[in-house]
Structures are given as C-alpha cells and as structure tokens.
Amino acid sequence: MSGNQAPMRERAKAFFEDLQDRICAEIERLDGKQKFREDRWEYAPSGEASLRSGGGGGITRVIAEGAVFEKGGVNTSAVAGRLPEKMAQRMKVGEGDFFACGISLVLHPRSPHVPTVHMNMRYLEVQPDDGSPLDGWFGGGADLTPYYLNRDDAKHFHQALKQACDAHDPEHYPRFKQWCDEYFVVKHRGEARGVGGIFFDYLRGNLEGDFPFVQDAGNAFLAAYPPIVERRMHDAYDDAQRQWQLVRRGRYVEFNLVYDRGTLFGLETKGRIESILMSLPPHVSWVYDHQPEPGSPEAELVAVLREPVAWV
C-alpha cells in the first residue's frame, strides 16, 4: 500500500464486485428473457476459525432457463478464516489466517453452437503464524469450451485476452496461455477441457503492478465472450448435436470436481456449497465409450483438444 490508498484487499474486492455488476448486465441483455437471481450470504466457518478472523460473505447470482443461457453463475466473495493445514501445504504457504476475495463465473448456453465460458479472478492473503510478513498474491484466468469448433471464435477469444496481457508485459500471454493449456486438462481423458485462454497464479512481489493487469484481464471478458454469443446464438441445431453437447458437458463436470483449484479451495475452507457448485451444468450425459464419427465435426473438436493450438 502506498500513500493514502486503501488496502489491496479492499480495492480488489471493490473491483470484483463492480465487474460482477457489469458482466451480469451484459449477460441479461444477451439472454433477453431471464434475469439473475441474487443470494447474499455470510461465511461462518466452524471450529477454530470462528474464534479467530473468520467471517465475510459473498454475492451469488444465477441465471437459469433463459433464452440463450440454460444456466450460469457470476459470483463474488470475500472471506477470511483459518487456513486448513492441508490447504497451506498444497499452496506452499505457512499456516495462518487467510483472506480471499474474487469473482468466478461459468455460463452454460442452451445452444451447442455457443461455447461454455469460465472466468475467475482472485486475490489471496495469508498471515503466517510464525510472524513472517503478510503474503499476498493474485491468480485467475479465463477459458473457452466449445462443443463445435469454430476457429474464428477461438481466435477472437484469445486475441482479446492477448491484448489485455500485452498492455502490461509481452511475455504474459505466451506464458499464461501455456499455463492454461497445461492446467485445464482432463488428465484421465488425455484431452483439454476446451480451446484454452489464459491462466495465472501466485502473482506476488509487485501487487501494485499486478493489480492493473488483473483489472484489464477481467475487463477483457466483455470483449472476448459476448461477441461470440451474438454470432452463434441463433444457429439451428438438432437432437444429435444437443446430445453431443451433453456428453461434452460431462467432461466439464469431471474437471471441475477432480482438478479445479477453486472448487477444492472452497470445499476445504467450508465455503458455501451452492456457490461452489454453481459451475455445474443443469443437464449432462455420460455415454459408455462414446466415440465421435471419424471425419465428423465432433471428431475435429476432439482432435484439437488433444493437442494445444496457437490461436493467435
């Protein structure tokens, strides 16, 4: 903190909540039918945490059964408590009290021609018990999960994120794009969750310099995703294409429940379960040994998911 600026935790929280408002307004405009349901909740950790710095809460907003979006959530939270020992070890930080705030969104469109999208931006602090200095860092990312591959859409999404990265460091995009390709992988399937985007974590040491980047990366969502929705939302589809969408959603669920760091952090810190699992789609299918027809558009997508592509 410098001068008369508010602590980073306050500025980060304010930005994430403002971004939530702007994204929700745009999603409601695109859908044209449904509005977000809002739940404001309080974080009440149990046990030792309640005797220390536990507390906070969040704003969960969910849209369902819309004209364009079958289900989606745009959540913010700001919580503090005792960092579980297992999480401290996993995060490679000292045991102590934590503060975490952020925004997390997942949107599942109705049409298989409109990609699912995810974004998460977060700020975390840990005050170690051993008296060492406060440890704070940013993390986040955004990625696109299409059911049918449209290369122009993938290029557009990546270009918007690259522009936000390039404004701060020309090494950000190639580094964070590779990190995304390596992170959003359904390892037991040997395929990526989608066509990627950017992913970063543990940006520490220069919070004042990193915060503007996080703001630009978060704001880039509005340039990256809504234009894709507008181009594809009226495309016709049939029952077979819908079934393929449900099968691919199963892969999405597998990643979120097995590998996703945000899901694991929320569960380990006894977060609000409805907010944590809002990322799951309303309808999904697991078909035994499902294989796309060789040479089909479905097979084209799977081929790309098995080998990262340089989109821009």
Pick the CATH number of 8-305 from 3.40.50.720, 3.50.40.10, 3.40.1500.10, 1.10.357.10: 3.40.1500.10
Place of tokens 């739940």: 39
- Please report, for residues 12, 111, 124, 137, 172, the alpha-carbon distance to residue 99 in angstroms, rounded to integers and kept in the order given: 12, 38, 6, 11, 26
Q: What is the 3-state secondary structure (H, E, C) of the chain?
A: CCCCCCCHHHHHHHHHHHHHHHHHHHHHHHHCCCCCEEEEEECCCCHHHHHCCCEEEEEEEEEECCCCEEEEEEEEEEEEEECCHHHHHHHCCCCEEEEEEEEEEEEEECCCCCCEEEEEEEEEEEEECCCCCCEEEEEEEEEEECCCCCHHHHHHHHHHHHHHHHCCCCCHHHHHHHHHHHHCEECCCCEECCCEEEEEEEECCCHHHHHHHHHHHHHCHHHHCHHHHHHHCCCCCCHHHHHHHHHHHHHHHHHHHHCCHHHHHHHHCCCCHHHHHHHCCCCCCCCCCCCCCCCCHHHHHHHHHCCCCCCC
Q: What are the per-10-residue average pLDDT scores of the chain (312 residues)?
A: 78 98 98 97 60 75 97 95 77 82 97 98 89 88 98 98 98 98 95 97 94 98 98 97 97 92 80 84 94 96 95 96
Quickly count: other Cβ atoms within 10 Å of residue 284's Cβ.
Answer: 17
**What pLDDT, on the 0 to 100 scale, is given for residue 50?**
37
**What pLDDT, on the 0 to 100 scale, is given for residue 51?**
35
Distance of CA 145 to the CA centre of its chain: 12
**Tokens encoding 182:** 């390596």
**What pLDDT, on the 0 to 100 scale, is given for residue 52?**
46
**What pLDDT, on the 0 to 100 scale, is given for residue 48?**
42
d(CA 85, CA 106): 29
Does the annotation mark 118 as catalytic? Answer: yes
Of 118, 156, 158, 172, catalytic: 118
d(CA 123, CA 312): 28
d(CA 197, CA 143): 4
**What pLDDT, on the 0 to 100 scale, is given for residue 45?**
60
d(CA 144, CA 164): 16
According to DSSP, the β-strands at 96-109 and 116-128 are: antiparallel
| Residue ranges per structural domain of the chain | 8-305
